[in-house]
DNA sequence: ATACATACGTA
DNA sequence: CGTACGTATGTATC
């Protein structure tokens, strides 16, 4: 292993450590290829949807401006410029008349839009460059080189692949893949991964393969794979040319026949980097917009929504995060047998970890472990080659709860290590969880994303070197090691930033006392899995399959033909064209065929097709669920879900692969699936424990409404109690109809239900629903005060908070788009309630797990389904486990103003244990 | 191959 | 015009 892990700093002896670089944010230059991006936008957006009332097309302007706004927001450049081509003739067409000759004439609706884009750019005070006879690419290439020399990072947005030759550690191309909203970050690694050669060789590859959009033919029969192989074998195009006679086969012949074209291609695709320009990168600083002009231009373009979005964006740009430069990173390889010493020398310091491997509950494996200390000294252990002595030292350190570690994704890391028989303990920070607590509405928390948004640098950037030359891109062991070390270093830097961020948001304890300890519990629970009765599942599959077949046949018979019953489009044809049924609710593709609509149609038409269609849908869905479960049964006869801890913005867990939080329960056939989840061998029974009306109890507590609190303290049926107060009758006179109305309303309130929604759900007049709500709030005024207060407070502070201080930020509460604002208000109503319930059951899980462990019990947690826990009880432990589960779940809220009722059931299957 | 829309299961 | 999720299928688009 020793020679595989080359020290990073020794590789770049002349690289200036960032620590000595001038302080302050590292400048970032954003360069945009104007024509290229405008053209992409033009084809991405329908022109008929984007025109002014006068019929002037604006789709390219809209798409381009929107893309640019997103780039300014997401990339926070300090400098920016847009380059345009000036005319069609260039020095390239002079050399090769057919250059770009296949391009069709500019589409008519595109003409004129470039002038509009220039107006927008002028209002945004963004520099525009162009030069006769020179393409935009060459201008951007020149600026890119100058900017690098000035120590800037460069981002280039262009749909021209020729630009890939410019990519290096300082230069990233943002290449549009579909439309203009989806941009690939073409870093050196991305280019290499995609084309098999690094960016410095990309133009060689393009010369061999050709570029159809430039009308540059390649070698017939030679694709990127062959070209990459040649380039790697002979060291670039020069080498290929030098050895042209050595290349055998058809491809070799073709190469020799087309050599002139290849060399011409190479001359033409080489970008100029010495174009004389009136401006230098330093002149391109981002300027504040000309607000007046922006309003005028956007007004003329009739971009109302985009205008609001962009101005809102500027308002939100109050404090962009400070870049955190990568410090010097030294990759060391302790002599064999001395890893333990290296780790012991760092005792008492928190070290950052990166584990490469497969971090799943089943089939886990770890390949390498990178460790970096707070001084930037790193070591990477290749687990396939580590010596027994070093592995032992590593295992002891990993398992030592007193050896503090910070990671990204502790649960996956723990799984991966467990796959090698290694135990991970002592994790005192997890940057993924920390980022989730800071920004629970984010959709991605991968290390590259977090590095970019919190450290303002690229994860791929070579750590420990400011500017340097060509990067070693060979995929050998030392490069893998370096990457792992860079990841660990990013974790270390993120830990610093996120710790302070967490502190500012009052979420530090939530991390250390809830989410981090929960990682351990969830990891064990996922590895344990829940036993499945495979035969029962197979039998169910047959059973549901029979129903699917017969219901389909009956459905076809009812309409006299066979259609795809799973195609909403074909169903619409049958229902509304063939059978002429009344139209249902509108959806994007026409009219809905969902179950509610079909049931309604059946009540009106009694057409047997609808009955069979509904029965078919049910059966096909249940069959699908069963088949999914069958596929998920692992070799140990158990199903191992993965609980996602950073998905739900409210703080809930989610379950995937398979989702065990949406196993059917409402219908009899559905419940049969629950019978397939059984107690495993060696255990006595399954036990389920769930909170009753947890969300209403939380609403009672948070609102402090005396009436609602009393309802729970009285021990009476909640909806009956509330119904008696709302309708002014004795509890025993509350009819089941009254009770169900109250139940719907109570739960609806926690979701931001409107009187309109309530009227629809209960099938009553809007006025009646509004009256019902009035009566409700008349008796439970504290609830109304609480709900309005929650929204008001969230609007003022920007966030809601749960009992444990878990925040959800809702900037849309102040949006001037009503739809968005209303949605945000409903989220604000629901988040503290759903989120507090999530807090409570997490605390309960920790308590249950702790008690099981400290009492030395063999019973174990298997599942969490939001307000329910499922456990597997070891022989003889039933009573004790039930008692401790009740105790831990009941006390999870601390001193809430209402009791937390827990109901418990046991049985040999999940169905039997349920209640 | 990939993303979006529809439909529907749970709390 | 009720929140939070995950999955499967069909369909359109590259």
Q: Are residues A374 and A421 in the same domain?
A: yes
Strand B contacted by A506 CB (< 7 A): no
Are A572 and A721 in a shared domain?
no
Same domain, A479 and A336: yes
Same domain, A31 and A73: yes
Taking CA atoms, A830 is separated from A435, A693, A821, A864, in Å, by 22, 15, 14, 20
Do A98 and A55 lie in one domain? The reply is yes
pLDDT in tens, A780-801: 999 999 999 999 999 989 999 9
- How far is C-alpha A705 from the geometric centre of its chain's CA atoms? 38
Indicate which CATH number applies to the domain containing A364.
Answer: 3.30.420.10
| Per-residue CB contacts under 7 A with strand C, chain A residues 210-269 | none
Domain assignment present for A773: yes
Indicate whether A448 belongs to any domain.
Answer: yes
A632, A660, A680: which is the final residue of a domain? Answer: A632
Strand C lies under 7 A from the Cβ of residue A715: no
Nucleotide nearest to A760 (CA to C1'): C1
Indicate whether A103 belongs to any domain. Answer: yes
**Three-class SS of residue A662?**
coil
Pick from A478-487, A538-547, A814-823: least confident: A814-823
User: Is residue A844 a part of any domain in this protein?
Assistant: no
**Alpha carbons A150 and A171: distance in angstroms, whole number:** 13
Indicate which CATH number applies to the domain containing A172. Answer: 3.40.50.1010
Within 7 Å: CB of A689 and strand B?
A: no
What pLDDT shows up at residue A104? 58
Domains held by chain A: number:
4
Task: Grade residue A421 by pLDDT with cuts at 50, 70 and 90.
Answer: very high
Give the domain-ending residue among A579, A603, A632: A632
A691, A366, A679: which is closest to A529 by C-alpha?
A679
Listed as ranges, the nucleotides of chain B within 7 A of a protein C-beta are 3, 5-11
| Residues 6 or more apart in contact with residue A178 via CB below 8 angstroms | A44
A327: pLDDT strictly greater than 90: no
User: Does residue A67 register a pLDDT over 90?
Assistant: no
Task: Output the DSSP codes for A570-630.
Answer: HHHIIIIIIS-PPP--EETTEE---HHHHHHHHHHH--HHHHHHHHHHHHHHHHHHHHHHH
End-to-end CA distance of chain A: 58
Q: Could you give the residue ranges of the DSSP H alpha helices within A419-533?
A: 431-438, 447-455, 477-504, 508-509, 516-528
| Nearest nt by C1' to A655 Cα | C6
What is the CA angle A640-A641-A642, rounded to 5? 125
Residues A113 and A181 in one domain: yes
Query: If you measure CA to C1', which residue is closest to nucleotide C7?
Result: A659
**Is the per-residue pLDDT at A478 higher than 90?**
no
- Identify the CATH number of the domain in which residue A628 sits: 1.20.1060.10
Structural domain includes residue A382: yes
Residues 568-587 of A with CB under 7 A from strand B: 568, 587
Residue nearest to nucleotide C13 (CA to C1'): A178
CA of A37 and C1' of C13: distance in angstroms? 19
Specify if A395 maps to a domain. yes
Measure, in angstroms, how far nucleotide B11 C1' is from residue A582 CA: 34
Please, what is the average pLDDT of chain A? 88
A628 touches strand C (CB under 7 A): yes
User: Within 10 Å of residue A875's Cβ, how many Cβ atoms?
Assistant: 11
Do A140 and A80 fall within a single domain?
Answer: yes
A653, closest nucleotide (Cα–C1'): C5
Closest nucleotide relative to residue A659's CA, C1' based: C6
What confidence score (pLDDT) does residue A312 get? 66
CATH number of A802's domain: 1.10.150.20
Give the nucleotide nearest to A623 (CA→C1').
Answer: C8
Under the banding of pLDDT at 50, 70 and 90, the label for residue A463 is very low
A480 and A549 part of one domain? no
Segment A527-542 shows an average pLDDT of 96
Spell A828-840 as b/e; 16+ CB within 10 A means b: bbbbbbbbbbbbb
Q: Is the dihedral of CA A172, A177, A183, A185 positive or negative?
A: negative
pLDDT for residue A6 is more than 70: no
Same domain, A713 and A612: no
The answer to whether position A599 is within a domain reads yes
3-state secondary structure of A339: helix
Q: Looking at residue A613, what is its pLDDT?
A: 94
Backbone φ, ψ for residue A63 (5° rounding):
-60, -40
Residue A623 lies in a domain: yes
Distance of A181 CA from C14 C1′ (whole Å): 15
Query: For A340 and B2, how far is CA from C1' in angstroms?
Result: 48
Nucleotide nearest to A745 (CA to C1'): C2
Which one of A489, A505, A521 terminates a domain? A505
Give the three-state DSSP class for A387: coil
pLDDT at A8: 29
Paired sense of beta strands A171-178 and A28-33, if any: unpaired
Question: Does the CB of A695 fall within 7 Å of any strand B atom?
Answer: no
Domain of A761? 695-835
Please name the residue that has the structure tokens 């779940």. A889
Q: Which residues of A402-433 are buried (b: 16+ CB within 10 A; e: fewer)?
A: ebebbbbbbbbbbbbbbbbebebeebbbbbbb
Q: How confident is the model at residue A469 (pLDDT cuts 50, 70, 90)?
A: very low
- For residues A344 and A491, state if they share a domain: yes
- If asked whether residues A586 and A440 sit together in one domain, one would say no
Query: Domain check: are A496 and A550 in the same one?
Result: no
pLDDT for residue A162 is more than 70: yes
Give the angle subtended at the CA of A83 by the CAs of A275 and A196, to the nearest 5°. 80
């Amino acid at each position: 292993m020793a020679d595989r892990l080359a020290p990073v700093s020794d590789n770049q002896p002349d690289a200036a450590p960032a620590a000595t670089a001038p302080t302050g944010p590292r400048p970032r230059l954003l360069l945009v290829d104007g024509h290229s991006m405008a053209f992409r936008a033009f084809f991405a957006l329908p022109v008929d949807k984007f025109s002014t009332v006068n019929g002037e097309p604006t789709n390219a302007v809209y798409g381009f401006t929107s893309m640019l706004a997103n780039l300014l927001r997401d990339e926070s450049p300090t400098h920016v410029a847009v380059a345009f081509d000036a005319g069609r003739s260039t020095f390239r067409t002079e050399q090769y008349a057919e250059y770009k000759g296949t391009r069709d004439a500019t589409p008519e609706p595109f003409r004129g839009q470039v002038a509009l884009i220039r107006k927008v750019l002028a209002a945004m005070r963004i520099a525009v460059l162009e030069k006769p006879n020179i393409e935009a690419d060459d201008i951007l290439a020149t600026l890119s080189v100058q900017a690098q020399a000035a120590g800037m990072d460069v981002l280039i947005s262009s749909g021209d692949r020729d630009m890939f030759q410019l990519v290096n550690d300082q230069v990233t191309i943002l290449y549009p893949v579909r439309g203009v909203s989806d941009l690939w970050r073409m870093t050196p690694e991305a280019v290499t991964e995609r084309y098999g050669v690094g960016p410095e060789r990309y133009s060689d590859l393009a010369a061999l393969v050709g570029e159809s959009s430039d009308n540059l033919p390649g070698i017939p029969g030679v694709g990127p794979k062959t070209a990459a192989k040649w380039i790697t074998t002979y060291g670039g195009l020069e080498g290929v040319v030098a050895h042209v006679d050595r290349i055998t086969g058809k491809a070799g012949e073709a190469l020799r026949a087309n050599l002139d074209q290849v060399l011409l291609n190479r001359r033409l695709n080489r970008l100029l980097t010495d174009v004389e320009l009136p401006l230098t990168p330093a002149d391109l600083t981002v300027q504040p917009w000309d607000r007046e002009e922006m309003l005028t231009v956007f007004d003329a373009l009739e971009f109302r929504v985009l205008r609001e979005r962009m101005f809102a964006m500027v308002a939100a740009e109050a404090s962009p995060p400070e870049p955190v430069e990568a410090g010097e990173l030294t990759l060391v390889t302790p002599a064999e047998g001395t890893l333990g010493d290296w780790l012991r020398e760092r005792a008492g310091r928190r070290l950052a970890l990166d584990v490469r491997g497969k971090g799943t509950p089943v089939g886990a494996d770890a390949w390498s472990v990178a460790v970096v200390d707070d001084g930037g000294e790193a070591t990477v252990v290749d687990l396939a080659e580590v010596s027994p002595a070093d592995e032992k030292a590593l295992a002891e350190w990993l398992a030592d709860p007193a050896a503090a570690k910070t990671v990204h994704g502790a649960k996956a890391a723990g799984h991966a290590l467990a796959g090698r028989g290694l135990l991970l303990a002592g994790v005192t920070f997890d940057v993924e969880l920390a980022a989730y607590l800071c920004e629970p509405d984010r959709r991605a928390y991968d290390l590259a994303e977090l590095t970019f948004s919190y450290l303002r640098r690229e994860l791929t950037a070579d750590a420990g070197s400011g500017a340097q030359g060509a990067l070693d891109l060979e995929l050998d062991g030392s490069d893998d090691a370096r990457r792992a070390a860079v990841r660990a270093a990013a974790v270390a830097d993120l830990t610093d930033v996120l710790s302070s961020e967490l502190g500012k948001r009052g979420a530090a304890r939530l991390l250390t006392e809830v989410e981090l300890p929960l990682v351990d519990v969830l990891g064990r629970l996922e590895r344990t899995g829940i036993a499945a009765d495979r035969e029962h599942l197979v039998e169910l599959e047959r059973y549901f399959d029979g129903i699917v077949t017969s219901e389909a046949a009956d459905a076809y018979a009812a309409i006299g033909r066979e259609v795809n019953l799973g195609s909403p489009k074909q169903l619409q044809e049958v229902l509304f064209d063939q059978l002429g049924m009344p139209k249902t609710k509108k959806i994007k593709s026409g009219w809905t065929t969902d179950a509610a609509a079909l049931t309604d149609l059946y009540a009106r038409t009694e057409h047997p097709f609808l009955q069979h269609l509904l029965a078919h849908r049910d059966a096909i869905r249940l069959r699908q669920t069963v088949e999914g479960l069958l596929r998920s049964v692992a070799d140990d006869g158990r199903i191992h879900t993965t609980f996602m801890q950073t998905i739900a913005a409210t703080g809930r867990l989610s379950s995937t692969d398979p989702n065990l939080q949406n196993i059917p329960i409402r219908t009899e056939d559905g419940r049969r699936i629950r019978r397939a989840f059984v107690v495993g061998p060696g255990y006595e029974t399954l036990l389920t424990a769930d909170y009753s009306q947890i969300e209403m109890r939380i609403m009672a507590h948070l609102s402090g409404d005396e009436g609602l609190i009393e309802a729970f303290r009285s021990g009476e049926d909640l909806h009956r109690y509330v119904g008696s107060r709302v309708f002014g009758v004795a509890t025993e006179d509350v009819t089941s109809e009254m009770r169900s109305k109250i139940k719907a309303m109570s739960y609806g309130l926690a979701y931001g239900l409107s009187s309109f929604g309530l009227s629809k759900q209960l099938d009553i007049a809007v006025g009646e629903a509004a009256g019902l709500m009035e009566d409700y709030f008349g008796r439970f005024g504290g609830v109304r005060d609480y709900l309005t207060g929650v929204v008001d407070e969230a609007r003022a502070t920007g966030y809601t908070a749960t009992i444990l201080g878990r925040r959800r930020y809702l900037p849309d509460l102040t949006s001037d788009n009503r739809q968005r604002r209303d949605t945000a208000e409903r989220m604000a109503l629901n988040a503290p309630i759903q989120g507090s319930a999530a807090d409570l059951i997490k605390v309960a899980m920790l308590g249950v797990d702790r008690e099981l462990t400290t009492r030395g019990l063999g019973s174990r947690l298997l599942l969490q389904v939001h307000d329910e826990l499922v456990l597997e009880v070891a022989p003889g432990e039933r009573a004790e486990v039930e008692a401790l589960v009740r105790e831990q779940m009941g006390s999870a809220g601390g001193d809430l103003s209402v009791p937390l009722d827990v109901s418990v059931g046991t049985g040999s299957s999940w169905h039997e244990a349920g209640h």
